[in-house]
Amino acid sequence: MKKFLLAVLAAAAIAALPASPAAQTAIPKSGLPVLTTSAGQSNDANTVNAVLEEADIKYDYCDVPTVEMLAAGVGLAGKTSAAGFHVEVTTDLVKYPKGTPYKTVILAIGASLKGMGASGLTTDSEEARVKKLIDACKKAKIFVIGVHAGGDAARGPAGSDNERMIDAVAPFADFLVITKDSDKDGRFTKIAAKTKAPLIKVDFALGMVEIMKKVF
């Protein structure tokens, strides 16, 4: 699945030259280990993981991590995948043994009613879960990166599922990485201007590979 995603991203990137992200704003630095997760249970979490793999950045992943799993650090408390619950640990356990606190959490923003339903979630419960996770990150001084890779297709009218996931993440992110199509209405630009969080826009999701290399 991830190889297919990378092939699609690469084909899209060839179609046009992306603007230099460095020309827009400085890219902040963060540290490993990193946990990736979803805000809305769309397939964009797979895109984020594919980007990290292309950048040769090891990560832990869970689609619905609890605050307790976050606090348990690398290895996600030994949890294993089950129906509606997916865990993947690729972190280098020699450099970062199980239990090492996460320094960064990346949230892929994008709502899917099918994805939320598969995890036994509603928009309300997913929104509450994401907010609780971000609150825990703030208390633990974990760097939060919000990624919106779904473009215009993962947007919607005010109050829609996609916009609620943006509301849950973007105003609280330490760094925002998005595709240009995600910001046609300037919403992310306005949020970043208000919070002073660095915002990087790329033409295609594959452009996020070089961004993540510089972050880590």
CATH number of the CATH domain containing 18: 3.40.50
- Give the predicted TM-score (pTM) of the model: 0.89
Measured between alpha carbons, how far is 152 from 104 in angstroms, rounded to an integer? 26
Measured between alpha carbons, how far is 63 from 84 in angstroms, rounded to an integer? 9
Between 23 and 209, the more confident residue is 209
Q: Give yes or no for a cis peptide into 21 (omega within 30° of 0).
A: no
End-to-end CA distance of the chain: 24
Average pLDDT over residues 10-35: 65
HSE-up of residue 6 (Cα within 13 Å, Cβ side): 11
Q: What is the chain's mean pLDDT, rounded? A: 91
Measured between alpha carbons, how far is 156 from 65 in angstroms, rounded to an integer? 26
Q: Could you report the per-residue pLDDT of 38-79, keeping only the tens digit for each? A: 999 999 999 999 999 999 999 999 999 999 999 999 999 999
User: Which of 22-26, 40-44, 191-195 is predicted with the least confidence, judged by mean pLDDT?
Assistant: 22-26
User: At residue 4, does pLDDT exceed 60?
Assistant: no
Domain that holds residue 71: 2-215
User: At residue 14, does pLDDT exceed 50?
Assistant: no
Count of domains in the chain?
1
Residue 9: the pLDDT is: 52
Closest C-alpha to 168, from 150, 185, 191, 142: 191
